[in-house]
Structure 1
Amino acid sequence: MMNLQSITPPSGPLATLAEAKSYLRISDTQDDAEIASLIQALSDRAESWTGRAFLTQTWALWLDRVPGELINASRVLALPRPPLVSVTHVKTYDPAGSATTLNPSNYFVDAVAEPGRVVFNQEYSWPGSLRSVRAVEVQYVAGYGDATAVPAAIREGLLLWLKVLFAGRTKLLESDESSNGLVDLHKMEMPPQTLSLWKPYQLMRL
């Protein structure tokens, strides 16, 4: 079993409040909190829908055991949330919880592939005794950089959706239960313009 853990989240949303207000042609400040909340929610939605990391962030991929493909021929481990920037470390944990950091010479980091990959050397032998859960940790950095490095289509799609939401004075769902005037972005139909801009960046889910 694999588990993805956020170590360092993005430093902010994909667009600033000033950019959003300029796009919406708003100059007063009375709706700043609502606009900022929508920007953050749409930034999160963009990442979850496309399966990508846009702003620089750090993740840890935990494996409960060493998958067969890492022991046998391919020895390739794909890392979620591309684009991959770098691998910070690969660690194994014994039954007592003691960590051993793999020497980087034991694997190759392919940051060009999408998603990025860690390719372990054929000569490397995994420890014979590992704990039964969270036995292997791969910590890595992903993302395009800051907001200015994010593909323009992603940011444009976000602002278009923001305009639709704000025009309808849509407020975010803040609980698990729907209530009057609130909406869950994950259940809301994406505007066609946003869909056409984001679709080329959506990762294929097998």
Structure 2
Amino acid sequence: MVDESESGALAASLAELKAYLRIETAGEDAVLAGLLRSAAALCEQFTGQWLVRRAVGETVACDGSWQRLAARPVAAIDEVEAVDGEGVVLALPVEAYAIDIDAAGDGWVRSTRARAGERLKVRYRAGLAAEMNGLPEPLRQGIVRLAAEHFSARGAESAAPPAVVSALWRPFRRMRLA
């Protein structure tokens, strides 16, 4: 179970999108901000990575085996706690668990003292960049172009995203095999 904290930050700025579309008034700002959020979510789905860093809470099995955290790339693992069968959260001493962030940005955690019915509650931060200006330019440009395409194609049912967007995002795509 993943509990994501909203950062509220857009992956590309409203000003960038308005400049790209040559819009100077504020009348469409709410629509454009929504399109930016939607394009950023599609970018995250396509690349398999979170864009702007945000806090995550996740509960994983506590059976002694390594458990991969769902969000990536993991920037830091902040806290690991045990949750008993009744839902009571218990502080764990450092020697009761192990954590790792591998070179690919995947976060891992395991209990070194597994107890029946327990789960691990992990709090961590994941995302490519601390804020939108730290994102690689091809990702930002693809988000702006996709949001602009959606804005321009309002009401058109068969509007396909431009191929240039996937070309911009493809080098950042990370997929997991089951």
TM over 0.5: yes
Once the two structures are superposed, the pairs formed by residues 115-130 of structure 1 within 5 Å of their partners are: 115-118=105-108, 120=110, 124-127=112-115, 129-130=116-117
* Separation (CA, whole Å) in 2 of partners of 1:97 and 1:119: 19
User: For each residue in 1:136-184, what CA deviation from the matched residue of structure 2 results, as whole angstroms up to 9, or x when unmatched?
Assistant: 211111111100111111100011112222222x2xxxxxxxxxx387x
Once the two structures are superposed, the pairs formed by residues 37-186 of structure 1 within 5 Å of their partners are: 37-63=34-60, 65-67=61-63, 71=64, 75-105=65-95, 106-110=97-101, 112-118=102-108, 120=110, 124-127=112-115, 129-131=116-118, 135-143=119-127, 144-168=129-153, 170=154, 181=155
Whether 1:14 and 2:11 are equivalent positions in the alignment is yes
For structure 1, the residue ranges without an aligned partner over 5 or more in a row are 171-180
User: Percent identity at matched positions?
Assistant: 23
Q: Which has the higher contact order (CA 8 A, sep 6+)?
A: 2
Cα RMSD, aligned residues only? 2.4
Give the TM-score normalised by the residue count of structure 1: 0.74
* Structure 1 residue 24 displacement after superposition: 1.6
* Separation (CA, whole Å) in 1 of partners of 2:138 and 2:10: 15
Give the TM-score normalised by the residue count of structure 2: 0.84
Amino acid across the alignment from 2:23: I
Residue 196 of structure 1 is matched in structure 2 by 167
8 Å contact kept, 2:50–2:71: yes
Residue 2 of structure 2 is matched in structure 1 by 4
Count of residue pairs brought into register by the alignment: 175
Amino acid across the alignment from 1:49: F
For structure 2, the residue ranges without an aligned partner over 5 or more in a row are none
* Structure 1 residue 189 displacement after superposition: 4.0
